[in-house]
Every structure is written in C-alpha cells, then in structure tokens.
Chain A
Amino acid sequence: MGDSRLPSSYMTPGTSSFADFLGAEAPDLLPSRRAVPAGAAGDLAPHGTTIVAATFDGGVVMAGDRRATMGNIIAQRDIQKVFPADEYSVVGIAGTAGLAVEMVRLFQTELEHYEKIEGTTLSMDGKANRLAALIRANLGMAMQGLAVVPLFAGYDLTADQGRIFSYDVTGGRYEETAFHSVGSGSLFARGSLKKLYRDDFDVEEAVTAIVQALYDAADDDSATGGPDITRRIFPVVHVITADGGRRMPDDEVAAIADRILASRMERPDGPAAALT
C-alpha cells in the first residue's frame, strides 16, 4: 500500500459515497467513465442472460442461469451473475458481463463504505437508489450496446419483508411485487412464474418455482442455459431472510433441479396449472 502520507483529499470530510469519492479521486476506475469509440459495441463482449427473483413468506430468493453468450457462441457455461450486495441484499445482472461485474463490485463497495463511514446501513430504498445512480451513469455505454440491467432484491428490516427492484438502462427504478425477471429469457420466465407463484411459498417451494422458471426460459431462449446435468452446473441461488443472505449450496440446488428434471421427463412443459 501507499508508503507516503495520506492524500489530503482522503482526510477531507465530505461524502460517504464511495462512487462519488472514486469519481473525484480516480475517475478512470469508474466502470461508466470509459470512452468507447462511436458505433455499436454490443457484439464484442459476452452477455449475461436471465435472472429471476421471487418473494416468499419471510424473505426473497434470486437465481440466475450460468450462461454467457457472444452472438451465437456460448462464451461461458458457468458464469456467476447473482452476487450478494451486502448482508441483506443481492443483485443479479443481465447485459454486458464485464461491465456488469465491475458495476456490482462498485455497488458492493459503495454499500460497505457507507456502512463503515456512517456506522449504519442504508435503507432498502437508499440502496436501490444508489444502484439506480450507477446504472444511470452508464447510459452512454448502454446506447452503444453495452447495457447493464440489474435486478435488485433484499430483505427490508423495517418493513419486515422481501422486496424486489427492477431497472431500465436509464436508471429508472421500479419496485416489483411478488416476482420479476430480467434478461433475454425473462419473458418466458415471467410467464412461467405467473402460473407457478403462490403467496404462501416456503424457501424450498420458492427456489423450486424460480428454477422451474429458469428451465422454461432455457427451453425457449437460446441464450439462457438450463441445468447442465452432465457437468453438474446448476443455477446460482441466493436466499435472503431476516437472518441475512446466503448462497444456497450447490448440492441443495442440484437436488431441486434433479426433481424438476425427473418431473419434466414425464411432462416436458412442466407442471400444469389449474384452469380456473
């Protein structure tokens, strides 16, 4: 680390936002502050695809498939697209993978930095707004095809419930009820969840429902990866309750995925919903 005196800007009281501090101190490290030559750059880099989140009684779950694509090529089979943002929230990303992963790192640092400087955590809405500001700063890149669209979910300790926020590329922030999905397979995943979602899910049922939704997305969207049974690669699932967030261990997700695969052997389109 630095061998000399702390720069005076570090000692200046002021912002408790790490992104603002970074913008003043080392703007070249901001993911959105890069000059990209004019023209579409969207096909140059891998894209992450489908993220699904759903609330349940006492928390919220989020899952993402493991595929990254570059045009018609599968760029990566086991990419991780769902990350813990802090102890009580999680962020999943769709869009340009490189930028998105960097933005998640900035967002994680932002939340932790605020917590350390202020001695208290941001409110759930405060976190959602900070993420919106980071997305908004990326608008220029988004217009050249390097868009990042996150899905943000967490447990709100004051409201005592799980909450989900979706975003558009301009930084618009929208709170969703019950469940939501972003990415290329999101239309199919959302259609699937519409038929599967119940208010009274427990953790395991909620995880089963969103893994079913990812299966349906992979079924109809080439850019979304389904469960890879030969390589044993399964979706990344995060569960957040009042006790904090954790990534569901791979073997638990594998057991749920195996059950879903077994039932799909009988009925490839998945469980049938009641007509009325």
Chain B
Amino acid sequence: MSMPFYVSPEQLMKDRADFARKGIARGRSVVAVQYADGILFVSENPSQALHKVSEIYDRIAFAAVGRYNEFENLRIAGVRLADMRGYAYDRRDVTGRGLANAYAQTLGTIFSSGGEKPYEVEIFVAEIGDAPEDDQLYRLTYDGQVADEHGYAVMGGAADVVAGHLAEHYVAGASLDEALRVAVAALGHSDSEDRVIPARDLEVAVLDRTRTQPRKFLRLRAARLAEVLGARGDERADEASPEDALAGSGPRHSGQDDPSDPTDQVSGATPPLEDPVTGEPGSPPTAPPVAPPVAPPVAPPADPPAEPTDPAAPGEPSPPAPQPPAPQPGRPPDPGTPPPAEPGQI
C-alpha cells in the first residue's frame, strides 16, 4: 500500500525548477546580440539538421536551448500561431510581444500544473523594428517568466561565463561582422581557456532589417562565416555533449548519481535501500557492489528469473529443476555470470 506524502508547495516548485534548470544547463549556449542592422543569433551546434535558431515570421525569430523535442514543439506552435494570425488579419498584426505572451502562458501553465513535467527549455523571441531602438528581445524561462533584454543575452549551459565575456566586449551599434566576432569569441570563452570554435560547428542567423524582402530572417552559411571570422588560430571542436544525438548511441548519463539529490536523473550504481525480494533492509555491499542482490544462478543459468525464488509462493509445485538455495542478500554474484547491467544502459 502506498502512503501519500506531503510535499510543501515550495519544495515542489523548487524541485521542478531544479529539474528544468539541470536539463537546460546540459546544453550549449545560444547568444543573441543586437547590432546596427538587426539582431544576431549565434550558437555552437554541430548538427546541420536540428536547428536552435529559426524563423517564425517576417521580423520575428526564435532561439532555444534545452530539450530539442520540447522547444521544437513550441517553435511549430509559434509558426502556426503567427501564420494563422497573419492570414486572418494582416502580416503587420503578427507581433513578437504577442508571441512571447503566448509562450509565457504556455510554459507557466505547464510548469505549475502537476500533471506534466516542466519543459526543460529556455527561449528567445526576437523582433526587429525599423530602427535599432525598436528592436525587441524577450527571454523566456522554463517557468514562463519573461524578461526584456537589451544589447545582448545568453542562455544555456555556460550562460554566466559567456555573458561575462560579452559584458566586457559588447559594443552597441556594431556592424554585423564585429558583432559576429564578439559573439563567437564569447561562446568559445570559458574560465580556463579561450577556444576557437570551427566555423562549420556554428549555427548563425540574423534578423536583418536591410533585407529588401519582407522576410528578414537569414541564415549565414559556414563559407560566409569563415570569410568574416578569418584566421583565428587553431580550431577545436567542443567535446561531445549530452545534447549531441549520436546515431546508434544509447542515452548517456550526465554526472554522478547522488542519492541525496531528489532531482538527480542518474541512478543505478547505488544499491536500493531494501532488498527487493525479501523487503529486508539491504546490508552494506561488499566489494564489488551489486544492485540488486541476485540469487546465484542455477541450471539452466540463462534463465535465472524463472526460478521460484519468490518467498510469497512457497507452496507452489516446483519444476523438476533442483531447489535453489535461498537468496543471500549482499552476496557477490557467481563469477560465471556477468553483473547485471545498470538500468537505462541496456
């Protein structure tokens, strides 16, 4: 029988916030920088297919970090909302503020509803006007908060470090080339070193008010980037990050399992608190640690779970196989069998 637990609302919200923040911190950062002719977005993103920055409407762009499937959902909803609005009314009636509001309401509702897990995303919604002072840059967090940003903004994993670098080097009203160089340098900056990010690993897009077409969004390709950035010294790609979806690889854990942290998403290496079979408190594991304690295998060894080791059904007729010895919690497994795989790594 399960007991309902009391969790204070403060603790519940804190846990949900920690959960979302952790998911976001795993990804690489996205930088948005205002320059003389619009707004520039830069991200380190080796994937050519999964974009972090995209077009929503004529003058509106979207950038996100966090869980791809979640922000992709939000992006598509934004495109639909904008196109619907533009079709039913007029193209000028689609505004970044309205879109930011819709996102804020959506994220806020999901965050505070008990039924859904909070979205592990952070979003920029940017809109350019006819002059730099009309440009708008909104930053939305996982809990639906909206912040109006000016000049530059950073979100994602190393946001603080990158923002610190930008705070030193950002110049208002810079040209696109200058703004791009500053933003790329900031993304490569960390406390220990300044890395040169290869041009092919950069995802760069602009909202450029000087474009003659009504749609002001433009992606800058690697060739153009290499030309603008010029020779910058030895390029070095970032090491693999949990957000890089490598074909054929299973889900990878980030960080260590910490049993004292309830929002931790890593588990497996720690033995359970009680023996799953007997319900007895588990004894401290002897080396090597095993979780869960298993019965030593008997013939046929390939089929240990089929053995009637369940103490709840002792009266059942046993199969012709010899009766196995009683389970001994904490006993190291038979050296002839591989240790059980960690859950989630199958």
List the interface of chain A (C-beta within 8 A of B): 1-6, 10-11, 13, 18, 21-22, 25-26, 29, 87, 105-106, 109, 112-113, 116-117, 119
Q: Which of A87, A106, A116 is B87 in contact with, Cβ under 8 Å?
A: A106
A186 smallest CB distance to B (angstroms)? 30
Q: How far is the CA of A117 from the CA of B74 in the complex (A)?
A: 11
Q: Which of A5, A10, A18 is B109 in contact with, Cβ under 8 Å?
A: A5
A-B contact pairs, 26 of them (CB 8 A): A1-B94, A1-B95, A2-B98, A5-B106, A6-B74, A6-B81, A6-B103, A6-B105, A6-B106, A10-B77, A10-B80, A11-B74, A11-B76, A13-B73, A18-B80, A18-B87, A21-B84, A25-B84, A29-B87, A106-B87, A109-B83, A109-B87, A113-B83, A116-B54, A116-B56, A117-B76
Q: How far is the CA of A13 from the CA of B51 in the complex (A)?
A: 17
B66 smallest CB distance to A (angstroms)? 16
Q: How far is the CA of A18 from the CA of B51 in the complex (A)?
A: 21
Is there contact, CB below 8 Å, between A3 and B101?
Answer: yes
Is there contact, CB below 8 Å, between A113 and B213?
Answer: no
B264 smallest CB distance to A (angstroms)? 28
Is there contact, CB below 8 Å, between B87 and A22?
Answer: yes
Tell me the B32-87 residues at the A interface (CB within 8 Å). 49, 51, 54-56, 73-74, 76-81, 83-87
**List of B residues within 8 angstroms of A13 by Cβ:** 73, 76
Determine chain A's interface SS by DSSP, over half rule. helix
Is there contact, CB below 8 Å, between A26 and B73?
Answer: no
**List of A residues within 8 angstroms of B99 by Cβ:** 1
Q: Which of B77, B85, B105 is A4 in contact with, Cβ under 8 Å?
A: B105
Q: How far is the CA of A4 from the CA of B109 in the complex (A)?
A: 10
**List of A residues within 8 angstroms of B299 by Cβ:** none
**Cβ-closest chain B residue relative to A1:** B98
A199 smallest CB distance to B (angstroms)? 31
Q: A1-B97, A26-B88, A113-B80 given. 16 additional CB < 8 A pairs?
A: A1-B85, A1-B93, A1-B99, A2-B102, A4-B105, A10-B77, A11-B76, A21-B84, A22-B87, A29-B87, A87-B213, A109-B87, A112-B215, A116-B55, A116-B56, A116-B79
Q: Which of B81, B87, B94 is A10 in contact with, Cβ under 8 Å?
A: B81
Q: How far is the CA of A117 from the CA of B73 in the complex (A)?
A: 10
Q: Which of B80, B88, B93 is A21 in contact with, Cβ under 8 Å?
A: B80
**Cβ-closest chain A residue relative to B99:** A1
Is there contact, CB below 8 Å, between A3 and B87?
Answer: no
Q: How far is the CA of A18 from the CA of B85 in the complex (A)?
A: 12
Interface string of B264-298 (1 = CB under 8 A from A): 00000000000000000000000000000000000
Q: Which of B74, B76, B84 is A26 in contact with, Cβ under 8 Å?
A: B84
**List of A residues within 8 angstroms of B77 by Cβ:** 6, 10-11
Is there contact, CB below 8 Å, between A3 and B84?
Answer: no
A81 smallest CB distance to B (angstroms)? 20
**Cβ-closest chain A residue relative to B217:** A116
